[in-house]
Amino acid sequence: MLKHKTVLTFALALLLAGCAGVRPPSPDSRPTENVSVTFLDVGQADATLIRTPEGETVLIDTGQNGRTAALLRKLGIRRIDLLILTHAHADHTGGVESILESFPVNEIWYSGLDYKAKLRRLLERNGGLQKVSAGFEKRFAKLILTVLHPQAKPLRNSVNNRSVVVKAVYGSASYLFPGDCELECWDQLFKFHRAELRADVLKAAHHGSGNGTSSGVLINVRPATIVVSCGRGNDYGHPHSIVLRLVDRLGAQLLRTDLQGTIECAGARCAPVAEAALSEISGR
C-alpha cells in the first residue's frame, strides 16, 4: 500500500513537473545522493537552504518575513543545524523570529556588527550564537563551510560591505554565498581570498545589483550558474542590466527567483522548482 502511494506520488510529481516544464524536488526532505541547495522564492530578499544526504540542514538568511518558515515546512524541514545571517538588514533577518519559533536551531552565525538591540537579544536567547569572521570554518560529515568575509577588522563603510561571505563545498560541487557584498567588500575578497573564490554556483551579491557583480567578480568566481534572488518588478531594478550583460558574456546559466520562483541545485546542476509541486509532493 505504502509502495503504491509512493509510486502515485512520484507519478503526480512527474506530471506536475512536466506541466510546468521544471524538474520536481526530491520527495523526501533529505537528498539521496548530491547535496541540495535551494534558493527560496522569498521576494526581494534572500533565504537559501542547504541539505546534505547525511541529513544536515543549513539556512543562509531568513528572508523578510514568515514566508521562509512556511516554505521550509513545505519542504519537510524539522530542524536547522546552522543558521547563517549575512548581515543585519531586514530582507535577510526579517524572518528570524518565525524561524526560531518554528524550528529548533542548533547554531547561529552572525558578524556581530550593525545589529539593533532587539534583534541581538532575540539571537542571544539562542544558546548557539557565534560571532564569525574570515577564516572561521565548520566541517559537517562531508559539507565544509568557510567564512571569507568580513575580516577581523571589518570595513567601516556600509552594512552590505560587512556581509558574512560563505563558501560551501560538498564533494566536487562548490557554492559562493556573498550576501549583499558590494565592490569594496569584493576588493577585500580579491586581496585576501582570491584563490578560494572559484565556485560552480554563485548567488549574485546584493540581489543582482550593479554594485554586487563586476567582470572581476565573474573572472575570479568563474561560476557555471548564477542565481539572482530578487522580487518580481522590484523598485530597485534588480537584477541590473549591466549584470545581465556580464553574465551573458560569460556564458553562464542565469536563474532568477523573480521570474522562475524557487531554484534548486542538486550538486552543481540547478533548475527552477514549481511551488505547486513542492506542496503536492510533501503533502503539507
List residues binding Zn ion (CB under 5 A): 91, 180
Select 188 or 211, whichever has its Cβ closest to Zn ion.
211
Q: Which of residues 20 and 159 has its CB atom nearest to Zn ion in the complex?
A: 159
**Do residues 50 and 60 lie in contact, with contact meaning Cβ atoms separated by under 8 Å?**
yes
Q: 90 or 242: whose CB is closer to Zn ion?
A: 90
Dihedral sign (CA 199, 201, 206, 208): positive
Query: Taking the mean position of all CA atoms in its chain, how far away is CA 70?
Result: 16
**Closest distance between Zn ion and the C-beta of residue 210, in Å?**
14
Whether the CB-CB separation of 68 and 47 falls below 8 Å is answered with yes
Q: Least separation, in Å, of the C-beta of 92 and Zn ion?
A: 6
Q: Which residues contact 45 (CB under 8 A, 6 or more apart)?
A: 61, 63, 64, 91, 92, 94, 95, 229, 231
The continuous run of DSSP H or E covering 21 comes out as none
User: What beta strand segments (E) does the chain contain?
Assistant: 36-39, 48-51, 57-60, 80-84, 105-110, 129-131, 137-139, 143-149, 165-170, 173-177, 201-203, 225-228, 253-256, 263-266, 269-272
Q: How far is the CB of 206 from Zn ion (least distance, A)?
A: 6
Strand partners, 166: 147, 177
| Residue placing its CB nearer to Zn ion in the complex, 155 or 274 | 155
User: Could you give phi then psi for residue 109, rounded to 5 degrees?
Assistant: -105, 140
Least Cβ distance, residue 38 to Zn ion (angstroms): 18
Q: Which three cell numbers stand for residue 68?
A: 521562509
Q: Which is nearer to Zn ion, 42 or 266 (CB)?
A: 42
CB of 207 to Zn ion, least distance (A): 6
24 versus 179: smaller Cβ distance to Zn ion: 179
Which CB sits closer to Zn ion, 88 or 274? 88
- Between 91 and 258, CB nearer to Zn ion: 91
Q: Which residues fall within 8 angstroms of residue 125, CB to CB, at 6 or more apart?
A: 100
Q: Which residues contact 74 (CB under 8 A, 6 or more apart)?
A: 275, 278, 279, 282, 284
Cβ 15 to Zn ion, closest distance in Å? 36
Min dist. Cβ of residue 158 to Zn ion (A): 12
Closest CB 44 distance from Zn ion, rounded Å: 8
How far apart are alpha carbons 44 and 230 in whole angstroms?
4
Other beta carbons within 10 angstroms of residue 190's beta carbon come to: 14
